[in-house]
Structures are given as structure tokens and as C-alpha cells.
């Protein structure tokens, strides 16, 4: 099949290649789409997982969209990115043909056959010479999980390499590790209904109004007159809309959460039945002795009274308290313990497994949850463990591959892969649907590291990202809207996406690119069952049997759509028709966790100092994060929309407190140079009391920001500490000054 395909298409780009069966949504889509004038699809940006209704012309091509009213997630709402989700598809920057760097250093259009020849030729030669640890992939939480699983299985089981990681390391690794250690499985316990059922909603390092606007709308639907507490060093849009803003010092979270637990235990406001289902309460109680409010207040920047009041609010008997966190927690050198400090608070106060409660990590990208279960990077595909012989045998049998094709040793984490590349041990990188030359911490290092790489392959929907521009080979990928598959959202809900546009030129879906590569590499037989996303879905579904994420009760894509998305777990025997389905489910209602003892673990360790604190040379602490609800990450997509571009500042700006601005004689719109020990950038001054004196905020969407950030990592999760480093500011003087 592949040989035939390559034989047919060794020439220049031709219309027949564009028409190649399956190119448009892998063959099935036109048949399915023709009779309908609308079709539903989950949004391809954030992990809220809103469902969009796409309006089609007679050819099955989406011409417009609106949010889906009946979907249990977004209830008819969408944020600006969702409304404009079709805009990025039409950009002239799309990668439409494979591009290969020639001897003069220029990227030249080549056929898929030549691209495959270069890909396999270079990587097989490197493998032969340097072994299975000499090539790594870096992927994403933004492609359907069938594609992620295909990549992870192809690379490790088919091509025989060991190391691969994804941008979920930048994002969710801390929550994954915290849940695994505390609950025995990576299991966010909540449903979005908990936002509406809660009496006290505590948002820690989470700016819902900007980053998850539709989840904020869910908070607004709460009829219990909730207390909404935002714990964030900045007075964010969310903090301003909340009932209480706890303006703590950056990275004061661990001390604050420990002192809250101290007060709660001291005052006997704990829940005995819930504590019965935990391990380690004596050790935790002993540890917390040292964390009296008076002892920790200075580290938090809060008063003893504020701390005592907060401790009472989050342990009020009879009140439903829910804890929610995002990157202000995960992106920290001690994020795992901060997340677990919230898990501990939920467990000791009985706020878990009941409506309106939970220790709830809000996910970032549309399919970060799918990546966690199926990417075959840190965990063996389907919620398994590489080190477990029984798991390897089960996966090998399920996929019909030899057991010894599955490595028992772990993959390097993202930062370790890049360190190995810098040191010359990793010779080639394959980057799929992520843009590390912009988004990785201390990104200035990547240019030097690039010099050490023998081969860089970038598979992206655009040829103009910072990373694609550095590539030796660019593989043009179809985007959201041009392919099928499933995403899993923050509340564990699986939803489908549909092909409603033709990919430009000869771009192919990532799924189809992996099929081509499997054939070209010579391991196509191992993946014969991976014909299209739905066949892959069924293979993966069957692998989950008897795991906490068991979804063996799902028949296929049609059932997912019919039931309004399906939350995992959904084992065989679960209801298959409406209205038997309970659409909003939470975990741990029976008090049983996934640890060997069935009990949750209370885990803790002392707070550590900031890896890079401000000093006389670099006197400001720099925070980074999301800027507006219309900007997405490295802006490869959102910058392509005329409408979204009108909704955010074009150039980098830096938020500074009015007192600091006055002290440094800075006016609104002045340009400053921001300098750290690693790099330098310019930004326009934006004076705002939203940041505290001595602190600055830069949105991550501007490419230079990560030249400044400090490469420190959580020791348990290896997640980068993006949100605290020391910088200085200098005004750029103009003639007029
Ligand atoms: N519009 C838009 N939406 C997005 C994204 C996007 O790029 N654009 N990206 C998506 C993704 S992948 C993710 S991961 C999420 C991120 O969603 P969020 O985590 O909500 O967004 P951030 O702005 O990165 O960080 C949240 C807050 O952490 C605070 N913070 C910094 N340091 C600390 C600290 O030490 N303690 C505490 N408590 N808070 C701290 C920052 O001030 C910031 O307000 O957003 C998703 N949604
Ligand atoms: N300073 C600082 N840095 C940060 C953060 C921060 O808060 N502060 N946040 C971090 C977080 S949480 C995250 S998640 C990362 C995100 O960082 P990245 O993953 O690097 O950011 P994106 O811009 O989302 O990159 C996705 C890439 O995939 C491409 N793409 C989109 N769809 C497809 C597809 O279907 N197939 C293929 N092959 N390509 C596709 C896009 O064009 C884009 O180039 O950034 C991290 N970096
Ligand atoms: S909130 Fe997230 S999922 Fe919903 S429309 Fe906006 S970007 Fe898409
Ligand atoms: Mo993220």
C-alpha cells in the first residue's frame, strides 16, 4: 500500500495527491458529512473542551460556526478563540508541502516520497551509529489522542527509540505527579458541575477569566452565593471579579497551605471519616507543628488575621469547599508539593468525592488529558507503567506486537532530552505540534543546541514558527478542522472532532504522516490495525480494560457524540443510551483511591527558597503567563485571525506597579530593556497596580519572553519554573527624552 502510494507520488505535487483517498479526513468524511448541514466538533484550543457547531456548505466545507447549546460543557458559550477557530486555517503561512534544507541551507519543496526518504535515511543512519537513545521526539497536548498514541507507539515500539516527551511537561506534569503519588493514578476527580455546586471556590494560581473563560461562566452559574477566593500574587481579572483576593508573595503557596492545615488540625475542624481513608496523618500533623500562622506569615506576605480567616473559610463545617489550581502552581520548582498540600486540605476536611468539592487541577491544552493517558511518553499507553512486566505483556497482546518491543526503562524528561542534545548525545529531534524555540524555558539556549543537532524534523501546520524556521525537514500537517479524532478535556470528558475543511496543498493529518513513516521505516505491519483514527480509538479503548481510565463501554465515535461526550471511567456495561447516562460524574465517591491500600497518601516536604531571588543587580521578580483570552501561546494560530489580532496588543508589554514606575521615572508606553542573567528583550511599559511593588508581569505570547526565564525544575515532575526569575529594567532613551 505504502509502496504503491510512494510510487505514484514521487513526482512534483499533483492534484491526484491532493485527492489521494483519505487525504480529506481519512476517506470517510465526505460520505458522512454530505447529508448534514451542521456537524459538531470540540474546540482545538483550551482544555475546557467546548463543543462547536460547524455550518457546512454542500461540499461539506465549514463556512461558519457557533457554540453548541446542548453540550454539557459550554452550554452554548464560546470564547473569542472558539468563535474564530476557522480563521487560522486559511493563512498563507500554512505548510503546504514538505520542505527539505538543501546544501546551500535553503528549505526547498520536495515530494512526500523524498521527505520520507530523508526522514528514514537520516534517522536510521543515526540509530545505527549511535543507538536507540540518540533520537528523541517532542510533541504536544494539542493533537487527538489517537495521533499521540500512534506517534508514541511508532517511535518506541516500531522505530525502536527510547526518548520522547511532550509540551505537557511544561504544563501538566506537576498535577500528573501529584495525583499519581497521592491517589495512585493520574485522576482529576471533578466534574465542571462542581463549580456550580460549591460554597467556597478557591482558585490557586489560576486566571480563569483569561485562560478558561467558559469555566468562569460555569462559576457564574453557581446559585449557592459562593465565596470565590483567588490566591495569586497579581490582582488578575479573576481576582478582581472574586469575593476575596489573597495577594500572597510569589511561591508563598506552600507555606500558606501548610499553615491553613495547621490551623484546621489545631482547631479540630477535620473530618474523621475522610481521614480514615488516608495514610500519613500522624506524620503530617507532626510536620505541621512548625507552620503556625505567626511563623509563616512573613513568607506569604499576608497577616496572621488574614491567614486565620482563610483557614476558617476553607474548613467551615457543612460547607462544600473546592480547590482548583492551574499554572501558578504547576509551573514551580516545588509545584508537586503545593498541589499535594491542596489535596491534603481536601482530604482532611472531607472535601472530596462529593458535589462541589475536590482538589482539582484545571488542564491547559485541548487534549492534555489525552496526552497523559495515551502519549506513551512517561506512562505506557492506556494508563499503564513501562516498568511493570504485566502491563507490558497486556499492551503487547492488545496491540499485537512482540513484548520485547516495549522498553521497560523510562524515557528522559523534556529538559533532560534537551540537555542530552546540548551535550551531543541526542543527535536528532522530531518536533510535532509544539514550538519550543519560543515556549521552552531559557529558550536562548536552543539556538546553540540546534548547532549540535545533526537533524531537526518539525511537523507543524505552519512553516513559519520559530521552530519550523530552524528545521532541516518540515512535514506539513493538517490542522484542527481538517482531521478526525478525540480530545479529553479537564473533567475527563472524551469528545470528537471532525474534518470540515480540506488541508492545503499536500499537507496530511498527523495520523496519516505517522502511517507513511511506519511504512517507510519498514514497520508498517506492526501498525496494520491503525487504519484510521476510529480503528486506533478502538485499539486504545480495549487497552484501558481494568485500569482506572477504563473506557471499554464506549462503542465508537458515534456513541460519544450521541451521549454528549463521555467522561472516563466508562467500563463495559455502562449505559449506552440517553437518558440513562449520568453526564457529570466525579471520582472517589466511595472513598476508595487507586493506591495498593485503597487509601490516599498525605505527602509533604518543607518549602525551599526561590531558585533565583531578586538582588541588587536584578532587583525585580518577573512573573509570566497568559495575557488575553484572544492570544494562544506562541501565537502561531491566533495571530492569523484578523479579529483576534484586534483584541490584543501587537507588541510585548510589561506590567509594573505605579510606585516602581514613579521611582524609575517610567511613563506609560515607554520602552524598557528587560534583562536577566540569560537574556534580554524590549517591552512597552504598562503601569498597573495589578502587580505588587518589586514584581513585573510579561505575557508569554511574545517570542523573547523565555530568553529571560530561569531553567529550574520541580524535582518530582521536572516541570519548568516559568513563573519566577530575577530581572532588571532599563529605560531606552530616545532623542526626545
Ligand atoms: N487565552 C488563553 N487561554 C489559555 C492559554 C493561552 O495561551 N491563552 N493556554 C492554555 C494552557 S496550555 C494553560 S496551561 C492554561 C494556563 O492557565 P492559567 O494557569 O490560569 O494561566 P497563567 O496566566 O499561566 O497563570 C495563572 C496565574 O498564576 C499566577 N502566579 C504566578 N506565580 C504564582 C505563585 O507563585 N503562586 C500563585 N498562587 N500564583 C502564581 C500568575 O500571576 C497568573 O495570574 O491556560 C489555557 N488557556
Ligand atoms: N514564560 C512562559 N512560558 C511558557 C508558559 C508560561 O506560562 N510562561 N506556559 C507553558 C505552557 S503551559 C505551555 S502548554 C506551552 C505551550 O507551548 P507550545 O506548545 O510551544 O505553544 P503552541 O503555540 O501552542 O505550539 C503549538 C504548535 O503546534 C502547531 N499545531 C497546531 N495544530 C497542529 C496540528 O494539528 N498538527 C501539527 N503537527 N501541528 C499543529 C502550531 O502551529 C504551533 O506551532 O508553553 C509554555 N511556555
Ligand atoms: S474556552 Fe477554550 S474550549 Fe472553549 S471556546 Fe474558548 S478556547 Fe475553545
Ligand atoms: Mo499549558
**Inside any domain, residue 27:** no
Are residues 156 and 186 located together in one domain of the fold? no
439 with 299, same domain?
Answer: no
The residue range of the domain holding 497 is 99-171+366-582
Residue 591 lies inside a defined structural domain of this protein: no
CA 141–ligand 2 middle distance (angstroms): 8
**Res 292: pLDDT:** 98
| Same-domain pairing of 112 and 184 | no
Contact 165, 155 (CB under 8 A): no
What number of other Cβ atoms are within 10 A of residue 193's Cβ?
18
Nearest CA to ligand 3 atom 8: 82
Domain match, 634 and 576 both: no
Q: Which pLDDT belongs to residue 30?
A: 45
Q: Are 566 and 576 contained in the same domain? A: yes
d(CA 451, CA 473): 15
Shared-domain flag, residues 482 and 530: yes
Domain boundary among 560, 582, 604: 582
What contacts 175, CB < 8 A, 6 or more positions away? 186, 188, 325, 330, 339, 361, 363
Check pocket membership of 214 for ligand 3, CB cut-off 6 A. Answer: yes
Q: What is d(CA 126, CA 509) in angstroms, rounded to the nearest whole number?
A: 26
Same domain? For 543 and 686 the reply is no
Whether 339 is in a domain gets the answer yes
The answer to whether residue 656 is domain-embedded is: yes
pLDDT digits (tens, 9 = 90+) for 615-640: 999 999 999 999 999 999 999 999 99
- CA 168 / ligand 2 centre spacing (Å): 9
CATH code of the domain in which 294 resides = 3.40.228.10
Q: pLDDT tens digits for 74-121? A: 999 999 999 999 999 999 999 999 999 999 999 999 999 999 999 999
Q: What is the DSSP string of 275-324?
A: HHTEE-HHHHHHHHTT--HHHHHHHHT--HHHHHHHHHHTT-TT--EEEE
Q: Pick from 109, 85, 114: which is nearest to 96 by CA?
A: 109
190/156 same-domain check: no
Q: What 8-state DSSP symbol labels residue 154?
A: I
Same domain for 380 and 357, yes or no, is no
Q: For residue 47, is it within any domain?
A: no
pLDDT in the model for residue 576 = 78
Residue nearest to atom 23 of ligand 2 (CA): 634
The dihedrals phi and psi of 421, each to the nearest 5 degrees, come to -70, -40
d(CA 27, CA 500): 12
pLDDT in tens, 368-378: 999 999 999 99
Question: Does residue 4 lie in a domain region?
Answer: no
Closest ligand to residue 167's CA: 2
Instruction: Judge if the beta carbon of residue 46 lies within 6 A of ligand 1.
Output: yes
Query: In terms of domains, do 655 and 568 share one?
Result: no
98 lines ligand 1 (CB under 6 A): no
Query: How many domains is the chain partitioned into structurally?
Result: 3
Please report whether residue 478 resides in a domain.
yes
In a domain, 72, yes or no: no
Q: What is the CATH number of the domain that holds 542?
A: 3.40.50.740
Within this chain, do residues 294 and 389 fall inside the same structural domain, yes or no? Answer: no
Rg (CA), the chain: 25
Q: Do 534 and 575 lie in a common domain?
A: yes
pTM exceeds 0.85 for this model: yes
What residues contact 511, with CB distance under 8 A and at least 6 apart?
26, 144, 146, 147, 150, 483, 485, 530, 532, 533, 536
Q: How far is the CA of 497 from the centre of ligand 3 (A)?
A: 14
CA of 47 to the centre of ligand 3 (A): 7
**Residue bearing the CA closest to ligand 3, atom 6:** 79
The parts of the chain modelled with pLDDT lower than 50 are 1-33, 35
Which of 361, 396, 423 delimits the end of a domain?
A: 361
For residue range 484-513, what is the model confidence (pLDDT) as tens digits?
A: 999 999 999 999 999 999 999 999 999 999
pLDDT, position 27: 35
Amino acid at each position: 500500500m505504502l509502496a504503491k502510494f510512494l510510487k505514484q507520488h514521487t513526482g512534483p505535487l499533483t492534484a491526484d495527491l491532493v485527492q489521494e483517498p483519505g487525504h480529506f479526513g481519512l476517506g470517510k468524511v465526505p460520505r458522512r458529512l454530505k447529508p448534514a448541514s451542521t456537524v459538531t466538533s470540540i474546540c482545538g484550543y483550551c482544555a475546557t473542551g467546548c463543543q462547536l457547531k460547524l455550518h457546512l456548505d454542500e461540499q461539506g466545507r465549514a463556512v461558519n460556526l457557533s457554540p453548541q447549546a446542548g453540550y454539557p460543557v459550554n452550554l452554548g458559550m464560546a470564547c473569542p478563540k472558539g468563535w474564530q477557530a476557522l480563521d487560522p486555517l486559511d493563512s498563507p503561512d500554512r505548510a503546504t508541502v514538505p520542505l527539505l534544507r538543501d546544501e546551500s541551507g535553503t528549505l526547498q519543496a520536495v515530494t512526500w516520497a523524498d521527505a520520507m526518504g530523508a526522514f528514514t535515511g537520516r534517522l536510521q543512519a543515526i540509530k545505527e551509529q549511535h543507538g536507540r537513545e540518540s533520537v528523541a521526539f517532542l510533541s504536544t497536548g494539542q493533537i487527538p489522542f489517537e495521533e499521540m498514541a500512534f506517534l508514541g507507539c511508532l517511535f518506541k515500539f516500531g522505530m525502536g527509540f527510547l526518548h520522547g516527551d511532550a509540551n505537557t511537561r511544561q504544563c501538566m506534569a506537576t498535577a500528573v505527579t501529584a495525583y499519581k503519588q497521592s491517589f495512585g493514578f493520574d485522576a482529576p476527580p471533578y466534574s465542571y458541575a462542581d463549580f456550580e455546586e460549591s460554597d467556597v471556590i478557591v482558585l490557586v494560581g489560576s486566571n480563569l477569566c483569561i485562560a478558561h473563560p467558559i469555566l468562569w461562566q460555569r462559576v457564574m452559574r453557581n446559585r449557592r452565593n459562593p465565596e470565590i477566593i483567588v490566591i495569586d500574587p497579581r490582582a488578575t481579572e479573576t481576582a478582581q471579579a472574586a469575593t476575596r483576593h489573597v495577594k500572597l508573595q510569589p511561591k508563598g503557596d506552600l507555606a500558606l497551605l501548610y499553615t491553613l492545615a495547621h490551623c484546621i488540625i489545631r482547631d479540630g475542624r477535620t473530618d474523621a471519616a475522610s481521614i480514615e481513608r488516608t495514610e500519613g496523618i500522624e506524620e503530617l500533623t507532626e510536620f505541621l507543628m512548625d507552620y503556625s500562622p505567626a511563623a509563616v506569615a512573613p513568607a506569604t506576605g499576608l497577616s496572621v488575621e488574614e491567614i486565620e480567616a482563610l483557614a476558617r473559610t476553607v474548613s467551615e463545617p457543612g460547607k462544600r469547599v473546592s480547590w482548583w489550581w492551574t499554572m501558578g502552581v504547576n509551573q514551580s520548582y516545588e509545584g508537586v508539593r503545593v498541589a499535594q498540600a491542596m489535596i491534603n486540605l481536601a482530604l482532611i476536611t472531607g472535601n472530596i468525592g462529593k458535589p462541589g468539592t475536590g482538589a482539582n487541577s484545571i488542564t491547559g491544552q485541548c487534549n492534555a488529558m489525552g496526552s497523559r493517558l495515551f502519549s506513551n511518553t512517561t506512562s505506557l499507553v492506556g494508563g499503564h507503567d513501562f516498568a511493570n512486566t504485566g502491563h507490558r505483556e497486556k499492551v503487547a497482546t492488545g496491540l499485537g506486537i512482540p513484548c520485547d518491543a516495549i522498553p521497560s526503562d523510562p524515557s528522559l524528561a523534556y529538559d533532560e532530552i534537551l540537555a542530552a542534545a546540548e551535550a551531543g548525545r541526542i543527535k536528532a529531534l522530531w518536533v510535532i505540534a509544539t514550538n519550543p524555540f519560543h515556549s521552552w524555558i531559557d529558550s536562548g539556549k536552543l539556538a546553540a543546541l540546534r548547532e549540535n543537532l545533526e537533524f531537526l524534523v518539525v511537523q507543524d501546520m505552519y512553516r513559519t514558527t520559530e521552530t519550523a524556521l530552524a528545521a532541516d525537514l518540515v512535514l506539513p500537517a493538517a490542522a484542527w478542522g481538517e482531521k478526525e479524532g478525540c480530545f479529553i478535556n479537564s473533567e475527563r470528558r472524551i469528545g470528537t472532532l471532525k474534518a470540515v475543511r480540506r488541508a492545503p496543498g499536500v499537507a496530511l493529518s498527523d495520523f496519516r504522516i505517522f502511517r507513511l513513516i511506519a511504512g517507510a521505516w519498514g514497520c508498517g505491519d506492526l501498525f496494520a490495525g491503525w487504519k484510521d483514527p476510529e480503528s486506533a480509538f478502538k485499539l486504545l479503548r480495549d487497552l484501558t480494560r481494568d485500569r482506572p481510565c477504563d473506557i471499554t463501554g464506549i462503542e465508537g465515535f458515534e456513541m460519544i457524540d450521541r451521549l454528549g461526550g463521555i467522561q472516563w471511567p466508562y467500563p463495559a456495561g455502562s449505559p449506552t443510551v440517553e437518558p440513562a447516562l449520568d453526564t457529570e460524574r466525579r471520582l472517589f465517591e466511595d472513598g476508595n483511591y487507586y493506591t495498593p491500600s485503597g487509601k490516599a497518601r498525605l505527602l509533604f516536604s518543607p518549602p525551599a527558597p526561590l531558585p533565583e531571588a531578586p538582588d541588587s543587580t536584578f532587583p525585580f521578580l518577573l512573573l509570566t503567563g497568559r495575557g488575553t483570552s484572544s492570544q494562544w501561546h506562541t501565537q502561531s494560530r491566533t495571530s492569523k485571525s484578523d479579529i483576534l489580532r484586534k483584541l490584543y496588543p501587537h507588541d510585548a508589554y510589561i506590567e509594573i506597579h505605579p510606585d516602581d514606575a514613579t521611582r524609575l521615572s517610567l511613563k506609560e508606553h515607554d520602552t524598557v530593556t528587560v534583562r536577566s542573567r540569560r537574556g534580554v528583550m524590549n517591552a512597552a511599559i504598562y503601569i498597573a497596580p495589578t502587580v505588587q511593588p518589586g514584581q513585573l508581569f510579561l505575557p508569554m505570547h511574545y517570542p523573547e519572553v523565555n530568553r529571560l526565564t530561569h531553567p529550574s525544575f520541580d524535582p518530582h515532575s521536572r516541570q519548568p519554573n516559568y513563573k519566577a526569575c530575577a530581572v532588571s529594567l532599563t529605560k531606552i532613551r530616545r532623542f526626545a527624552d
